[in-house]
């Protein structure tokens, strides 16, 4: 025996998509508030502007006609005489200065390692503890040659060798 199930609709499961919508009350039409034109903000605080005007008026009142307002410099304070004038500290000689002296006295091209040894022997300059002072000196001499060009105290005499451009001590 057959049952008549073909024409019967099964109720659909209630999900968010198929759930009936609840009636929502109609909202009252929106009334937009009147918008006033924006006031432009002054670039300077009004209190500061008032003070500036008052200051300008005071300066104009004090100014002599025909003269420009100038700022007076404070008188320089005289140094107090001390009992002992302090001697100026002698500036330590740098590696480049010492290398220029050694090269000028040698009169022949030298390598940076030879320059470092000669500077230490004469007591002109010693490395403050660096591992490769000859590489530092080499780079500094090349920098001076590149920056000063013909006015440099050094000239390249060959690969890794430098000569002095001046004769006799520098």
Answering whether pTM is above 0.75, one says: no
Classify residue 11: in a domain, yes or no.
Answer: no
Classify residue 113: in a domain, yes or no.
Answer: yes
Number of compact structural domains in the chain: 1
Average pLDDT over residues 58-85: 65
Classify residue 151: in a domain, yes or no.
Answer: yes
Classify residue 87: in a domain, yes or no.
Answer: no
Q: Which residues form the domain of 104?
A: 95-164
**Distance between CA atoms of 112 and 142, rounded to whole angstroms?**
11
Average confidence score pLDDT of the chain: 78
Classify residue 106: in a domain, yes or no.
Answer: yes
**Distance between CA atoms of 95 and 144, rounded to whole angstroms?**
12
- Cβ(110)–Cβ(118) below 8 Å: yes
In this predicted structure, the answer to whether residue 40 has a pLDDT above a threshold of 80 is no
Classify residue 132: in a domain, yes or no.
Answer: yes
Average pLDDT over residues 56-77: 67
Classify residue 10: in a domain, yes or no.
Answer: no
């Amino acid at each position: 025996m057959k049952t008549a199930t073909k024409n019967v609709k099964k109720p659909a499961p209630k999900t968010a998509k198929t759930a009936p919508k609840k009636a929502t009350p109609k909202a009252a039409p929106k009334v937009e508030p009147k918008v006033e034109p924006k006031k432009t903000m002054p670039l300077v605080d009004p209190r500061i502007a008032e003070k500036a005007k008052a200051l300008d008026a005071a300066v104009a009142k004090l100014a002599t006609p025909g003269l420009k307002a100038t700022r007076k410099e404070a008188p320089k304070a005289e140094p107090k005489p001390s009992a002992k004038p302090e001697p100026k500290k002698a500036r330590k000689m740098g590696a480049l200065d010492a290398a220029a002296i050694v090269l000028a006295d040698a009169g022949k091209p030298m390598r940076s390692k030879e320059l470092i040894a000669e500077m230490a022997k004469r007591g002109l300059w010693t490395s403050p503890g660096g591992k490769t002072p000859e590489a530092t000196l080499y780079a500094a001499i090349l920098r001076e040659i590149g920056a000063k060009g013909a006015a440099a105290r050094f000239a390249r005499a060959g690969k890794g060798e430098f000569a002095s451009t001046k004769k006799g001590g520098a």
